A and B are shown apart, each in its own frame.
Chain A
Amino acid sequence: MAPRFLIPDRDCTLYAPGLYRVQSRILAGLFLAAISFSQGADSGPLLTFDNSPMGTEEKPLVFRSYFPNPDLEPEVLKRHGQGNPTPRYSAKTGLLSDERMDQAIPGIPAAIGVNAGKTLSYVWDTTECRLLYAWVNGFLDMEAYWGEPTRGSRKSNDYVPRLYGQLFYKATGANPLRVNGENLPEDLKYLYHSRKSTHPEFTYQAGADRTISTMVTPGESAQTAIVSFRSSNAADKLSYEAPNTAFEILENNSGSLKVLLRPNAAETFTGFKKQEVKITEANAKAGEKLYQMFGCAACHTTDGSRNHGPTFQGLSGSVRKFGDDEITADSDYLRESIREPNAKHVPEYPVGMMPAYPLSEVQIDSLVLYIQTLK
């Protein structure tokens, strides 16, 4: 689902994230009376099938996931490992390819994302112990990770949420905080975060005898953020140095520092773009795209190797055994197996694992044509 730019008004109802959809609003309205669910005094609502979870300024949503990497400088992620491309492994032959590589993709593995409604979203990283980037007018589109909203079924293999909204800040260079004029030590270690205040505060070890706490809050003007630092050592003099960043020191007391970050980036993100395969006439190429798009590959290989479901290689025209019955996998059989996956169950595979996919005739025909190419 591509996210809408209508921002949900999360604090007024129980299941607000879904309510901006008219259909959901009606359904939720019907159920509201029947639900015995009650919330604690200041407990946030639960995540739902809505793929665009949001918080509010009064109750920010603290959220952990993989996060996208909006092309951050390597220096910013220097405490991360280096994920190399490696020769592609064939699960069928057990061999490594001489030509093809398994590429590594961009992504942040261990960060915390926070959304405070329209005014601020940001990603703070527990590995680098710093703010990585911030944006407004939206948060995350989870479809690539969570799948279609109502089904909860995996549809994609990248598992990286997409941003939506306007990105206005990206970290640059080394960690900007200075303590008594010195750079932070190399071995920063994230310790905990507290949700005692409205906004979460992140605390990390910075050397043997010091912890630093950081809180990020919306600035007063649009597309700004305030980063507050506290040191466990009240005598520390904190300062801030960030190349290519417009910032302003709001407060600088002994042991604390408040910095206003102004925009240093301007990028618009629109969430997850679902691949559309428009087919006028059934064809194998379209079938291959559908195979990728619907996640068939998660269970059915095309190289003959074993997986949760039968391989597609050599399937067409082969003789399938069901007890004493033998059935040739012709196009009728393939069609039936897509429409009603459990009508005939190949004994050695799990029963009922495959859902019936809501496909049109032309889509099914395309898939069948594709399967028939896999000799």
Chain B
Amino acid sequence: MKSFLYLAVIVSTGVQWAVTQSYEVETVSFPENVPVEIGAVDFCPDGKLYVALRRGDIVRAEPSEDPNAFDWKPFASGFHNPCGIYIVKPGHIIISQMAELTEVIDTDNDGTADIYRALSTDFGLSGNYHETMDICPDGKGGLYLAPGTASHNGPTFTTPRGEFSDAGRFGRNYSSVKWRGWVLHWNRENGITPISSGYRMHNGIERSPSGDIWCGDNQGDWRSSSPVYHVTEDSFSGHPSSLVWDPRFSTIENPLHLPRRLLDDLWNKPAFRLPRTMMNSCAEPAFDTTKGKFGPFEGQMFIPDQSGDRIVRLMPEWVDGAYQGAATMFIEKDGLKRGNNRLAFSPDGTWMYVGQTGRGWGALSEGLQRIRYTGEMPFEAKNCELTENGFTITFTKPVSAAGEVTLERFTYPYGYTYGGDEINKATITPAAVEVASNNLTLEIAATDLLPNYIYRFHLKGVKSDDGTAFANQLEYTLNRLRRPATAEHKVELTAAGEDRFRITIDGDLFTEIRHTGFSNPILYPIRNASGTELTRDWPIREDGRKDEQKDHPHHKSLFIGHESINGIDFWHEGPEDGTTEQVRVIETRSGQDRALVRTLNHWKNPEGNILLTDTRTWEFGVVNGARYADLELNLHASHGEVNFGEKKDGLIGLRTHPDLRLKPAPGKGVEEVFGHAANSGGTENAAIWGKKADWVHYWGKVDGNDSGIAILSHPENPRHPTWWHARDYGLVAANPFGPKKNEGDGELILPEGESLTLRYRFIFHDKAGEDADIATQFTTYHSAPLFPRTPTIPIPTKSGEEKTLKIPTNVNPRGDVISSVTRVVNGKKADAPEVKIHSFVEGQRIFKDRAYQFSSIPDHLRGGDLVVTYNDDKKSGKKANYEVKIGQPGMLHVLVDPRAEKSMEWLTSGDSKPAFKATRDIVKTSANFTYKVYVAEVDPGTYTLGNQTDGSFYSIIAVTRD
């Protein structure tokens, strides 16, 4: 038998793909006729290599220099698709197979195992072929388990092992039995403990040298590309099927139809999102601990592609409380086969072993290969780091020239469809690119970085000092921006006991989130920078301050509730009233210029049934010299339609310190007050009740010290400016559901599957009245960029039509130019076309009567208004016109199929009103045509667009004028 040694490949252009010269690949032989379908590989400390073959045998050998001379010997047998191995000591291993975590021991030291002990059978097995499982050590004698989901390509059994969930069975990849799609922890004392949910097929879990747990996942449903996750406790990794086993979602009828914003908020984003040009199916990661023996990438992570002939190198870094980082190709082809499933470094660090399997995935590719560093330093990105205003890329060799460097930004849609394209693309030209004085590091300044995007570097012009051009891919998954290294204040948020988070600024208490023990999570106490407490004590402190009136016991400092949600009162706290319960901490960030916590909360009726859920983020910090608390409250119709009743008592409530009251209550404990109030419209004191305003401000002396509280409603809030329920006894509440008779907007019905986002900022200051300058605070608040949301694929509906995106939040809104459109067919008014404000985005439907969608839109048009026109009006005998009413000055665009241009003289002649001009822009579609774009400047007024007839059809969009 022959082994293959692959040496350097010189690409015909003369560009050397440096890595291939630096690494060589060879194939290790196995006994003839044995299928080398490798489920797992690992080294024993004694130097023996253990290999799990997926038909069920475990073999081991002393590796030899000659890849054909391995003395493979059977060690154990009879496993069902073993895909995970952990070696306890020589002759004692743990194997994960389909139905069992199994300990295998050679008790009589005769070279083969004789005891096969079930360490755990406490996870279900549906009978589907796809439910394989990998394991990794926890560093303390226990293991982490990654039980994969089932595939819709295969069935389930009538008699699965364990409880079967009908709702878990729905979907492309699914979790019909327990803990499929979870990461579990196991140890001998406690058995199985669920750790993290939301995985699709985490075929490969590994512990890093620093003790972090990592796993990859495969492109597919809910996975536009292949993600790599840092596994943390009680996290959710985005694939919803596994949620059926989470008691907090046990009453969900179909996890695939949960509100998209809820899923996006619950989703702890992957540290890496690898594009298809790098990865199709992430398998088991490995970490380079070879101290340079394997080349210049000490400490970095490698992850193989189970459906490709490649291994990717990852460079994780810790940014604002989570891992993220850059990915580049380590090796592709050059002798490496497909099916790369498991990696293991030889104990001496010389070889990376690669176990391959292809069974079940098309073309046969399986075997055992090994890769060695030749000692020839490659020209590669050794590291890539995010800075406060750009990136640094450090190369393995000195850089002689940077050339032209550009960045491309993109993201992916999130939803049930298989895989997804790169969308919302934009090219970024760096403000500056410099080679640092060490000659190794490229410093790239880019001012307009957005989080929740992936950045692709174009570095073709970068050359090493020996003239080698950089020819690799390099991409950075930027989930979080880097916070300022030198911040004026340090804000910390820590769990204090079981019932609260404690927030301090520079060590001094700001507030506590008391999430347990009340009818809803509240903030109490709340102090300004001078240490003055600004909200009411009673009834949280039973005796309260002296001089407090003991009225309205539900007015607890800062609280959230509403008098009528599906008829249940969440404002008061009687036995018939609802409660809001914090059920999950999604994430916390602490120790920088601001701190935050995001939680999941259930709104329950008195019987304990969930009516709706919310995800809320509280962020704390200092702005313009005052302490602030920002609330983003996302209310989700996760358990059916939600009706927010037309009631005055709601929604975000605050009860001030009695000194800030506008009116005393003689005889009831409040003899003297010092409060003043004003709103953004200039209305003062008690008159602010029932008025709409951007903000409301209460100020005055509290305990003799200048103090104040302002509540600011974000202009993006629905029904902004909001209605204020602000009383003279110190209650102030922002209420979007205020009664119509008091100039409110009345009830709001949130259809099942939809979400409502509300944002407020609370300012707690220690200034005298006007000095607080709340108007400036409001400007600061609304001009700060909002975090870009993940574009989500809507919940499908039976009619096959996607629900209208009301206002997409993932694009820069450029529209609100078109007020309305009338369609006239053969001189008669016909069905009006829908106008979608700010909604000209990829994926939107083009026509009312066709399923085609827009697939690529120039950046400067994305986010404009879209008129959904009628394709069929092109039919002969029909003549259609659109009367477009423009409300704001803007640019009106007509998109035409160039094939139909000749029958659209009204447009192309240039003497229409408005006068359209052809542009070089193109808009791509999912249909077999690409639109050419015409544009005209328009002022408010009504414009009639010309005849749609003789086979011509077009689309209408509008954007604001720059």
Contacts and interface: CB of A to CB of B under 8 A. Distances in A.
A93 interface: yes
B74 A193 contact: no
Size category of the binding interface on chain B: 35 or more
A104 B157 contact: yes
Nearest to A104: B158
Contacts of B117: 191-192
A89 B111 contact: no
A80 B171 contact: no
A63 B56 contact: yes
Contacts of B161: 80-81, 109-110, 127
Interface string B156-188: 111111111010011110101100000000000
Contact of A105 (B158, B307, B364): B158
Contact of B169 (A42, A102, A151, A158): A102
Contacts of B171: 89
B418 A352 contact: no
A255 B767 CA distance: 85
A92 B418 CA distance: 8
A172 interface: no
B715 to A, nearest CB: 34
A46 B74 contact: yes
B575 interface: no
A43 interface: yes
B125 A109 contact: yes
B800 interface: yes
B78 A112 contact: yes
Contacts of B796: 93-95
Contact of A94 (B125, B128, B416): B416
A192 B800 contact: no
Interface stretch (B26-34, B429-437, B545-553): B26-34
Nearest to A307: B418
B160 A306 contact: no
A93 B796 CA distance: 7
B362 A298 contact: yes
B157 A109 contact: yes
Contacts of B784: none
B189 interface: no
Interface stretch (A32-40, A206-214, A225-233, A271-279): A32-40
A105 B361 contact: no
A341 to B, nearest CB: 8
B364 A86 contact: no
Contacts of B68: 36
B362 A153 contact: yes
A63 to B, nearest CB: 5
A46 B177 CA distance: 32
Interface in A38-54: 38-49
A81 B163 contact: yes
Given A81-B160, A81-B164, A353 B363 contact: yes
B110 interface: yes
Interface residues of A, number: 90
A14 B72 CA distance: 14
Given A65-B80, A154-B361, A355-B363, A109 B114 contact: no
Contact of B928 (A38, A87, A319): A319
A110 B170 CA distance: 23
A43 B74 CA distance: 6
B563 interface: no
B152 interface: yes
Given A66-B80, A84-B164, A153-B364, A47 B127 contact: no
Contact of A47 (B34, B99, B159, B418): B34
A107 B307 contact: no
Contacts of B749: none
A45 B795 CA distance: 53
Contact of A48 (B33, B97, B164): B33
A83 B157 contact: yes
A66 B159 CA distance: 12
Nearest to A32: B32
Interface string A129-159: 0000000000000000111000111100111
A77 interface: yes
Given A18-B33, A104-B155, A109-B161, A308 B307 contact: yes
Contact of A196 (B108, B359, B362): B108
B115 interface: yes
Contact of B158 (A46, A83, A154): A83
Given A305-B418, A350-B308, A110 B169 contact: no
A350 B112 contact: no
Contacts of A299: 362
A86 B160 CA distance: 14
B32 A35 contact: yes
Given A102-B155, A104-B155, A354-B363, A159 B77 contact: no
A372 to B, nearest CB: 18
Nearest to B128: A159
Q: Is the interface of A mostly helix, strand, loop or mixed?
A: loop
Contacts of B89: none
Interface string A90-120: 0111111000001111111110100000000
B14 interface: no
A355 B418 contact: no
Q: Which of B1, B78, B177 has the most CB of A within 10 A?
A: B78
A86 B118 contact: no
B617 interface: no
A328 to B, nearest CB: 11
B574 interface: no
A94 B154 contact: no
A160 B115 CA distance: 27
B502 interface: no
A35 B34 CA distance: 12
A2 interface: no
Contact of B116 (A44, A110, A193): A193
Nearest to B928: A319
A153 B111 contact: no
B87 to A, nearest CB: 18
Contacts of A147: 359
With most chain B CB atoms within 10 A of its CB, the pick from A47, A153, A354 is A47
Contact of A91 (B72, B160, B221, B362): B221
Contact of A350 (B113, B114, B128, B280): B280
A221 interface: no
Contacts of A281: none
B417 interface: yes
A14 B111 CA distance: 18
A164 interface: no
A64 B154 contact: no
B96 to A, nearest CB: 12
A63 B155 CA distance: 22
Contact of A109 (B71, B116, B127, B169): B127
B166 A86 contact: yes
Contacts of A179: none
Closest 4 CB pairs of A and B: A110-B99, A306-B418, A192-B117, A64-B80
Given A45-B74, A94-B795, A194-B114, 14 more contacts: A43-B73, A46-B77, A81-B164, A83-B156, A89-B152, A89-B171, A94-B415, A107-B157, A109-B160, A152-B35, A196-B108, A299-B362, A307-B418, A308-B280
Interface of A: 14-15, 18, 24, 28, 31, 34-49, 61-66, 69, 77, 80-84, 86-87, 89, 91-96, 102-110, 112, 126-127, 145-147, 151-154, 157-160, 189-196, 297-299, 305-308, 319, 348, 350-355
20 contacts: A36-B69, A47-B53, A49-B35, A62-B77, A63-B78, A66-B80, A66-B98, A69-B159, A81-B161, A86-B166, A89-B174, A93-B800, A109-B126, A145-B129, A151-B364, A157-B155, A158-B155, A195-B113, A298-B153, A348-B276
Interface of B: 1, 31-35, 37, 53, 55-57, 59, 68-69, 71-74, 77-80, 97-100, 103, 107-108, 110-118, 121, 124-129, 152-164, 166, 169-172, 174, 176-177, 221, 254, 256, 276, 280, 307-309, 338, 358-364, 366, 415-419, 795-796, 798, 800, 928
